[in-house]
């Protein structure tokens, strides 16, 4: 089992920055990859970015490329999402997800690939 706890959300003006954190606990040695997803009001949950834990290979959705940066600190079992140049359309609940080996792999952009999901942290960007 892997437990995920996000933090760092809040209210920020357009053009501002926030850094989200996701602390993993439990069987963290088994984590293969992690990702951030978000869900805006009235919309489906969508992929934001993923990272492979061992290689640090990343994959960003087009709408955040150049503005968001994913990183991880293995020693602290923590995943980060640095969000710069925020836009009102970035407003959403942001979720951290973790994948461990096993199960069907639908690719890094599908939430079905991830067996663990945090409780989410709200990000609100005002115009």
The pLDDT assigned to 114 comes to: 95
DSSP annotation string for 43-112:
S--EEEEEEETTT--EEE-GGGTTTEEEEEEGGGTEEEEEE-S--GGG-EEEEEEEE-S-S----TT-GG
The pLDDT assigned to 28 comes to: 83
Residue 27, pLDDT > 90, answer: no
Residue 67, pLDDT > 90, answer: yes
């Amino acid at each position: 089992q892997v437990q995920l706890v996000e933090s760092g959300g809040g209210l920020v003006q357009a053009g501002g920055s926030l850094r989200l954190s996701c602390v993993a606990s439990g069987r963290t040695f088994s984590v293969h990859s992690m990702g951030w997803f978000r869900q805006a009001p009235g919309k489906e949950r969508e992929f934001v970015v993923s990272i492979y834990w061992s290689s640090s290979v990343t994959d960003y959705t087009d709408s955040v490329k150049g503005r968001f940066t994913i990183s991880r600190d293995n020693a602290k079992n923590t995943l980060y999402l640095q969000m710069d140049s925020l836009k009102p359309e970035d407003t959403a609940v942001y979720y951290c997800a973790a994948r461990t080996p096993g199960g069907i792999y639908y690719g890094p952009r599908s939430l079905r690939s991830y067996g663990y999901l945090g409780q989410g942290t709200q990000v609100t960007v005002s115009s």
